[in-house]
Amino acid sequence: MIFIVVKYQVLPEHAEGFIEATRPFTEATRAEPGNIFFEWSRSVEDPNEFVLVEAFQDDAGEAHVTSEHFAAGLASMRPLLAATPKIVSRLVDGTGWEPMGELVID
């Protein structure tokens, strides 16, 4: 699967509304064939930093980045951001979230 983590530094005046502003992009991406997960989090250390963790089936990445909603999503985020997002994108084995072997809860 393609595993991606992106950090977004949002302008302080847009931080509270950032998740709502990205909702159309989020919903459209989650509906894509090949999307495994697409999950936003907010940093506990920096209230202006948002982290997106996403995964796609190996053959779904190109369709995602060439979709109309991808372009629209980036365009809608651009005026809300303080800096260029930082990304880690890797092909990894697996098909989604798996139980953590080191911390098993019975």
| Mean pLDDT of each 10-residue bin along the chain, 106 residues long | 97 98 96 95 98 92 82 95 98 94 95
Instruction: Give residue 99's pLDDT.
Output: 94
77-to-20, 21, 29, 81 alpha-carbon distances in Å: 11, 8, 15, 6
DSSP 8-state symbol, 95: S
> Coil, strand, or helix at residue 14?
helix
What CA–CA distance (Å, rounded) separates 51 from 60? Answer: 21
Q: What are the structure tokens assigned to 19, written together?
A: 């998740």
Fold of 2-91: Alpha-Beta Plaits (3.30.70)
Return phi, psi of residue 70, to 5°.
-65, -50
* pTM, 2 dp: 0.92
